[in-house]
Amino acid sequence: MDIDPLLRKSVLGLRPLDVPASSPDILRLDGNTNLLGPNPAIRRALEKEADVAHYPSAFHDELRAALAVHYGLETGEILVGAGADELIDVAVRTFTNPGDAVAVAVPTFELYGFCARLEQARLVEVPLNPGFTLDVDALLRAEANLTFVASPNNPTGNAHPAPQIERLLKGSAGIVVLDEAYAEYCGQDFLRRVRQFENLIVLRTFSKAHGLAGLRVGYAAARQVIVERLARAKLPFTVSALSERIAIEALRDPDHVRRSRESASVEKPWLTERLSALGLHPYPTDANFMLVRVGPRCAALVQHLDGKRIRVRAMFKGHGLEGCFRATIGLREHNERLASAIADFLR
């Protein structure tokens, strides 16, 4: 039976996103996750009794309330999802019809474009300027229903200056989604400013600085009218009761995030210096990862690292990133292992 004629047209042209399988004996520097170690919130949450025999509240109201208190917002200005990934999908489904423009500042997180194509939106890719800065004028010319900007940006690592983001928000007639998945590492915080902009959605996650990527908990903040519209397109019960409880515990104790931020701030210059001394070009970063330009030997280097049980993310998809890889900034032992393996390749 040929099932392709039964498929939604947008699915015919899509391929599953490339997400490498995990393995306990591989040093995973390809996921921008937190290598500090288990968040103590996990143990504290497991010591408490959690009702997992029943569904959690449909939209995870306890976590929404905790986030609202933490950021000085109202519960109705927060929406929780299964990672920020789910909320990206929800935003596209909520604010686009087939053929509507979705603008994306590229290179960036590939899920924005994936979701836009799946929903049959018209994807407008707006290249970043040299130095990976936002081309605000080009983004505004797209006249998009929905615009995605990540700050700090993945994979380039740089945060976009607040005046550029403000100009985009003030000039756009559509919704602007600002993905702040790595904001804890640089102090950027548009989340607390969502009431200032009637078209702003800010995404955050517990996957990075909190070190809870495996739990899949993210959240969006926006004006209440936007959150209410997003909730119409979102499935209920997408975050487990246990994941919600652990996220609440993590929010109550900022120590893990503080130590994660401090570790990255120490290791970032150390790794930059080591890789530069090896003749590579690490780009400045405001996140917990860095983009590194190798040149024509990049594919061979990535393969060499894989043989050493070190996984980094190769950048082979254009937008000026050919010859580059992206690596998580880990603890000193992780960074020494990476630098040593690269030096071994270059000998």
What's the confidence (pLDDT) of residue 22? 66
For residue 305, give both structure tokens.
Answer: 């690292």
In this structure, the answer to whether residues 85 and 110 fall within a common structural domain is yes
In this structure, the answer to whether residues 32 and 45 fall within a common structural domain is no
In this structure, the answer to whether residues 126 and 246 fall within a common structural domain is yes
Alpha helices in 48-130 (DSSP H): 61-71, 83-95, 111-118
In this structure, the answer to whether residues 260 and 294 fall within a common structural domain is yes
Distance CA 285, CA 155 (A): 10
47-95 tens-digit pLDDT = 887 777 788 888 999 999 999 999 999 999 999 999 999 999 999 999 9
130-142 tens-digit pLDDT = 999 999 999 999 9
Residues 6+ apart with CB under 8 A from 315: 107, 155, 291, 298, 321, 322, 323, 324, 325, 326
Residue that terminates a domain, selected from 252, 278, 298? 252
CATH no. for residue 144?
3.40.640.10
**Residues 87, 202 contacting (CB under 8 angstroms):** no
Distance CA 219, CA 104 (A): 20
The average confidence (pLDDT) of the chain is 94
Distance CA 270, CA 44 (A): 33
258-273 tens-digit pLDDT = 999 999 999 999 999 9
**Residues 233, 226 contacting (CB under 8 angstroms):** no
3-class SS at 297? Answer: coil
Q: Does the structure show a pLDDT above 70 at 21?
A: no
Q: By residue range, what is the domain housing residue 178?
A: 40-252
In this structure, the answer to whether residues 205 and 286 fall within a common structural domain is no
The stretch 142-160 carries a mean pLDDT of: 97
280-334 tens-digit pLDDT = 999 999 999 999 999 999 999 999 999 999 999 998 677 889 999 999 999 999 9
Distance CA 339, CA 280 (A): 11
Q: Does the structure show a pLDDT above 70 at 20?
A: no
What percent of the chain shows pLDDT beyond 90? 84
**Residues 206, 250 contacting (CB under 8 angstroms):** yes
In this structure, the answer to whether residues 13 and 137 fall within a common structural domain is no
In this structure, the answer to whether residues 21 and 154 fall within a common structural domain is no
CATH no. for residue 314?
3.90.1150.10
In this structure, the answer to whether residues 282 and 300 fall within a common structural domain is yes
In this structure, the answer to whether residues 225 and 113 fall within a common structural domain is yes
In this structure, the answer to whether residues 279 and 296 fall within a common structural domain is yes
- Rounded to the nearest 10°, the torsion over CA 20, 26, 30, 32 is 120
Cα–Cα distances in angstroms (integers) from residue 21 to residues 30, 84, 127, 129, 283, in the given order: 11, 20, 30, 33, 27
Residue that terminates a domain, selected from 232, 252, 272? 252
Residue that terminates a domain, selected from 188, 220, 252? 252
In this structure, the answer to whether residues 167 and 301 fall within a common structural domain is no
In this structure, the answer to whether residues 48 and 106 fall within a common structural domain is yes
For residue 104, give both structure tokens.
Answer: 């994306």
Distance CA 334, CA 18 (A): 24
Q: How many domains does the chain have?
A: 2
